Amino acid sequence: MTNTTNQGNQADGRKTVVFRDGNMRTSYCNVVNVAATSEEFALLIGTGRSWHGKGDEFEVDLNDRVIMTPQTAKRLAAMLVNAIAQHEQRYGTIDASAQPPSPETNTAVQN
């Protein structure tokens, strides 16, 4: 198990956050939708079956639903904005309209 720690400044009263990943699982997604009520936000996370769809339909296999408070959702949004800005500064502008690769796509480079 790996623990990742974010050190807070003890002088200003912030706490140290310890992330424990012993029970963490990893999954791939290329589709995310958001649903919200006054009390919670839900991220519906899944994998698209075909980027071209079947007629008027686009099938998504939902893998997870992550439910959080509005405050947590707002902090997540801010962290994503920051992470995307850093990514684009390092690697260039992200074209959000581009079709992502399917998880089964082999992207290995052959010599």
CB 40 within 8 A of CB 24: no
Residue-level pLDDT, tens digit, the chain, 111 residues: 555 555 555 567 889 999 999 999 999 999 999 999 999 999 999 998 876 666 778 889 999 999 999 999 999 999 999 999 999 999 999 998 876 555 554 444 444
Is the pTM above the cut of 0.85?
no
Contacts 24+ apart (CB under 8 A), 30-35: 30/100, 30/102, 30/103, 31/60
Q: What is the DSSP string of 41-86?
A: EEEEEEEES-SS-BTTB--EEEEEEEEE-HHHHHHHHHHHHHHHHH
Sketch the domain layout of the chain as residue ranges. Answer: 3-91
